[in-house]
């Protein structure tokens, strides 16, 4: 039997898509998964060290991982006309954001890469601080940051705190390209034999499909990771980021990744232009 370390985030959407595996509803006698649950910034950093056999990562991190990892076509989160939201206590123009202190959830998050593309500025020209994703709203409310870059459920709840949307980066990207915004995906380590990689990818896809077919029980499990988000909003959030693109990126998802990496590379925001290679 092969033990596979599987990294994913403590979020309702990841919990939903991996429910089939964590519950044992989807299993294979040849494979045992050891789940490691951490925030996406930590997963990105640990993937740089090649720690996991399989892990969720930000697509922004992938150019730094290509020597050790290959993309899986299943498990992706795409923002189709919605995505990470830049918020502030008051409306700010884009030129004001360039000079503002911005709280971000991580330098390798796709949200930050999308923000740099929107601002047309590299990280070295921005005044940002890295803050745990669930503390960004508080930083902005208290005035410790002039703006905050939101991922996860806070995208749906920030208005309840009286905060303003400066830009929804998924909406902006859709207007710019006509494509969904690539946010996160799963990668598998090249040290795993090819035949095992195929089995593992199949199990992850089956887990996603099981959750989508059995939404009530999968959502009940995912609510353990919803951080107090009301059921109605958690269901909406899961539906936004676990969908047909998650089962398989397909041609549109692949095209979106190519455009995302292409624009980032030619803007000097990533070190290389990775080939879109799937296992």
CB 136 within 8 A of CB 148: yes
pLDDT surpasses 80 at 277: no
Catalytic site residue 152? yes
Q: Which CATH number fits domain 2-78+181-266: 3.40.50.2300, 3.30.565.10, 3.90.1150.10, 3.40.190.10?
A: 3.40.190.10
CATH superfamily of 85-177: Periplasmic binding protein-like II (3.40.190.10)
- Predicted local confidence at residue 173, as pLDDT: 98
pLDDT, tens digit, 9 for 90 and up, residues 71-101: 999 999 999 999 999 999 999 999 999 999 9
pLDDT surpasses 90 at 54: yes
- The fraction of the chain above a pLDDT of 70, given in percent, is 100
- Predicted local confidence at residue 229, as pLDDT: 86
Give the 3-state secondary structure of 65-120: CCCCEEECCCCCEEECCCCCEEEECCCCCHHHHHHCEEEECCCCCHHHHHHHHHHC
- Domain locations in the chain as residue ranges: 2-78+181-266, 85-177
Residue 206: both structure tokens together: 């089956």
- How many other β-carbons are positioned within 10 Å of the β-carbon of residue 119? 17
Catalytic residue among 8, 60, 99, 152: 152
pLDDT surpasses 90 at 278: no
């Amino acid at each position: 039997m092969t033990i596979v370390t599987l990294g994913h985030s403590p979020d309702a959407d990841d919990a939903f898509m991996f429910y089939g595996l964590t519950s044992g509803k989807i299993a294979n006698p040849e494979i045992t998964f050891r789940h490691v649950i951490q925030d996406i910034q930590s997963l990105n950093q640990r993937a740089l060290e090649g720690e996991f056999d399989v892990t969720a990562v930000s697509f922004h991190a992938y150019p730094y991982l290509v020597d050790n990892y290959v993309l899986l076509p299943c498990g992706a989160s795409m923002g189709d006309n919605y995505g990470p939201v830049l918020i502030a206590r008051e409306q700010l123009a884009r030129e004001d954001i360039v000079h503002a202190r911005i709280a971000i959830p991580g330098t390798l998050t796709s949200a930050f890469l999308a923000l740099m593309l929107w601002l047309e500025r590299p990280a070295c020209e921005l005044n940002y601080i890295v803050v745990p994703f669930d503390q960004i709203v508080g930083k902005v409310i208290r005035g410790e940051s002039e703006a905050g870059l939101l991922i996860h459920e806070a995208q749906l709840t920030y208005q309840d705190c009286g905060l303003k949307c400066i830009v929804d980066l998924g909406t902006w990207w859709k207007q710019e390209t006509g494509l969904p915004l690539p946010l996160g995906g799963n990668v598998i380590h090249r040290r795993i034999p090819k035949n095992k990689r195929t089995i593992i990818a199949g199990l992850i896809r089956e887990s996603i499909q099981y959750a989508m077919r059995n939404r009530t029980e999968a959502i009940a499990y995912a609510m353990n990771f919803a951080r107090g988000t009301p059921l109605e909003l958690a269901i909406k959030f899961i539906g936004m980021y676990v969908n047909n693109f998650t089962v398989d990126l397909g041609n549109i998802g692949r095209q979106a990744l190519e455009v995302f990496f292409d624009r980032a590379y030619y803007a000097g925001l990533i070190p290389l232009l990775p080939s879109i290679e799937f296992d």
